[in-house]
Amino acid sequence: MNWETVIGLEVHLQLATRSKLFSGAATAFGAAPNTQACAIDLALPGTLPVLNRAAVEMAIRFGLAVHAEINPISVFERKNYFYPDLPKGYQTTQLARPIVGPGHLDIELTDGGSKRVRIHHAHLEEDAGKSLHEGFHGLSGIDLNRAGTPLIEIVTEPDLASAEEAVAFAKKLHAIVTALSISDGDLSQGSMRFDVNISVRRPGEPLGTRTETKNLNSFRFMERAIHKEVARQIDVLEGGGRVIQETRLYDGDTDSARAMRSKEEANDYRYFPCPDLLPLQVDAELIERLRATQPELPEARRARFVTDYGLSDYDAGQLAGDTATAHYFEAAARAAGDAKLAANWVMGEIAARLNSAELGIGQCPVSPEQLGGLLRRIVDHTLSNAIARQVFEELWRGAAADADSVIEAQGLRQVSDSGAIAAMVDAVIGANAQQVAAYRAAPEAKRPKMLGFFVGQVMKASGGKADPRQVNELVAARLAEDA
């Protein structure tokens, strides 16, 4: 008998504001410990919160992107618990009245279909600090730089049925929030963290007991953690046991999970409206202003890439999904004057090189303008594809400012003078009488393959600079002539 998996996600998304949700301290990553935690973030007595406008607007932008209702009045509450990384002893969050109400997001399934995932709500809240455990002779060190960083927590309905769907949803969400520029989407820095609620059941039966696996910070870990937890629950149930409702921690390094010990014991968060903050009112005018200035989202961009650039739906999808990639592609296409060529290079050479160097598109050593400049020289037949790769290598190494200076310095201009190419073709044909004879004796079907030998020889003789299209034509013509 088979099992059904039921998954709901809670996504903590760090908003890309300059300052914190309730204080004017900076939010940048990587500062020395506690140098970005001001008196308010440290909860010194007498300090008070004032809400960041940008965080509110970002939350609204998110809500609009997932077709959600924006609540005209939302309320901040205090979630009370003691933890050394939580300076006030409560987290300021939203519960009963979140800023973003119900919405939805459609994901594409591997079978080509799509699925609507309902979003229960999204609310604004502050992040906590971090505990460091190494190097403090058995104690922990608390760094509160992250305390007070604005988050939106996005809560889905339990509409996801597999790890793959969960990952597809997470990636789609990532694409949207980066398109909106409301988050840097840097998973490695914890900008997007996933809590996964998982249960299994027999088809047709009521929902099973769920567990929550917390703080997954990569798509791969999320996928693995879900597989692992689903398998564990099925094992438990098939062994006659019962799933215990608990919070679990997944360790990506060891690909293992365990139940959490602290924090969750006897929790009673005693939520109540934060008396230091007043109800947040969002008027229709603000919503309309944000709606009017909403950046293009991946789905719309994909459609535009198909119509504007004549890309295939698949290619458009590849390029439009990630905003940085899409921007890179569009800039390169503009500079190249040939969108399809730019698309091929961005998805081919660039993607492969970035992948092996483990770089993001934002860190690509070749700017889209440089790439476009290079591609322009393919379009105008100055460079063959092979030489273009050579030039690309120079650009990647940072050895030159643009393709043209490499071409100039190394004399790489493609030979398209038909007289010069004809001479090289003649020389190759003259020097390879045996192959010529074989070619001419061969049946028609085999000839195109054999033609490659001569073309290769000519290209080699030209140092790769001959225009391969011309070489092909001339070689074929010459071999046919004398037959």
Partner 1 sequence: MAIQRADIEKLCYLARIDLTEDTAADTAAGINRVLELIDQLRAADTAGIAPLAHPLEETQRLREDRVEEKVDRDALQAVAPAVESGLYLVPRVIE
Partner 2 sequence: MHDLTLAEMCDGLARRAFSSIELTRHLLARIAAANPRYNAFITVDEAGALARAETADARLAAGDAPALCGVPIAHKDIFCTRGLRTSCGSRMLDNFIAPYDATVVERLAAAGAVTLGKTNMDEFAMGSSNETSYYGPVKNPWAPDCVPGGSSGGSAAAVAARLAPGATATDTGGSIRQPAALCGITGLKPTYGRVSRWGMIAFASSLDQAGPMARSAEDAALLLQAMAGFDERDSTCLDRPVPDYRAALDQPLAGLRIGLPAEYFGAGLNPGTARAVRDALAEFERQGARLVDIRLPHSDLAVPAYYVIAPAEASANLSRFDGVRYGHRCANPRDLRDLFMRTRAEGFGAEVKRRILVGTYCLSAGYYDAYYHKAQQVRRLIRQDFLDAFAQVDLILGPTCPNPAFAFGAKGGDPVAMYLEDIYTIAANLAGLPALSVPCGLVDGKPVGLQIIGNYFDEARMLAAAHGFQRATDWHRRQPEALAEAGA
* Contact residues for partner 1, defined by CB under 8 A: 17-19, 23-26, 32-40, 42, 44, 50-56, 73, 75-76, 80, 82-85, 131-133, 136, 138-144, 249, 260-263, 266, 268, 270, 273, 275, 277-281
Estimate to the nearest angstrom the gap between the alpha carbon of 156 and the chain centroid.
20
Closest separation between CB of residue 86 and partner 2, Å?
9
Rank residues 87 and 298 by Cβ distance to partner 2 and give the closer one: 87
3 state SS of 465: coil
434 burial type by CB count under 10 A (0-12 exposed, 13-18 middle, 19+ buried): exposed
Q: How far apart are CA 221 and CA 115, in angstroms?
A: 23
Element (H, E) at 371: helix 368-379
Closest separation between CB of residue 57 and partner 2, Å?
18
Show the tokens assigned to 185: 């989407």
Torsion of CA 290, 295, 301, 305, to 10 degrees: 130
Strand partners, 108: 114
Q: How far apart are CA 157 and CA 102, in angstroms?
A: 10
* Contact residues: partner 2, CB under 8 A: 39, 42-51, 78, 80, 82, 84, 87-90, 142, 144, 262, 268, 270-272, 275-278
3 state SS of 117: strand
Show the tokens assigned to 128: 């906590």
Q: How far apart are CA 87 and CA 131, in angstroms?
A: 12
Rank residues 234 and 249 by Cβ distance to partner 2 and give the closer one: 249
Q: Which does residue 43 touch among partner 1, partner 2, none (CB within 5 to 8 A, set by kind)?
A: partner 2
Q: How far apart are CA 227 and CA 108, in angstroms?
A: 20
Rank residues 271 and 453 by Cβ distance to partner 2 and give the closer one: 271
Closest separation between CB of residue 105 and partner 1, Å?
26
Closest separation between CB of residue 265 and partner 1, Å?
9
235 burial type by CB count under 10 A (0-12 exposed, 13-18 middle, 19+ buried): exposed
Closest separation between CB of residue 198 and partner 1, Å?
19
Rank residues 130 and 381 by Cβ distance to partner 2 and give the closer one: 130
Rank residues 50 and 442 by Cβ distance to partner 1 and give the closer one: 50
Rank residues 39 and 132 by Cβ distance to partner 2 and give the closer one: 39
3 state SS of 468: helix
Strand partners, 153: 12, 123
Q: How far apart are CA 41 and CA 27, in angstroms?
A: 11
Closest separation between CB of residue 24 and partner 1, Å?
3
Whether the Cβ atoms of residue 21 and residue 14 lie closer than 8 Å to each other: no
Closest separation between CB of residue 273 and partner 2, Å?
9
Q: Which does residue 183 touch among partner 1, partner 2, none (CB within 5 to 8 A, set by kind)?
A: none
Rank residues 40 and 117 by Cβ distance to partner 1 and give the closer one: 40
Closest separation between CB of residue 34 and partner 1, Å?
5
Rank residues 74 and 233 by Cβ distance to partner 1 and give the closer one: 74
Rank residues 17 and 384 by Cβ distance to partner 1 and give the closer one: 17
Q: Which does residue 88 touch among partner 2, partner 1, none (CB within 5 to 8 A, set by kind)?
A: partner 2
Closest separation between CB of residue 256 and partner 1, Å?
14
Give the list of residues 6+ apart from residue 404 with CB closer than 8 angstroms, or none: 373, 377
Whether the Cβ atoms of residue 158 and residue 115 lie closer than 8 Å to each other: no
Show the tokens assigned to 259: 């139940």
Closest separation between CB of residue 132 and partner 1, Å?
6
Per DSSP, the residues of 173-212 read: HHHHHHHTTS----GGGTSEEEEEEEEEE-TTSPP---EE
Q: Which does residue 116 touch among partner 2, partner 1, none (CB within 5 to 8 A, set by kind)?
A: none
Closest separation between CB of residue 218 and partner 1, Å?
19
5: left (phi over 0), alpha (psi -120 to 50) or beta: beta
Torsion of CA 52, 53, 58, 59, to 10 degrees: 80
Q: Which does residue 19 touch among partner 2, partner 1, none (CB within 5 to 8 A, set by kind)?
A: partner 1
Rank residues 49 and 63 by Cβ distance to partner 2 and give the closer one: 49
Rank residues 73 and 442 by Cβ distance to partner 1 and give the closer one: 73
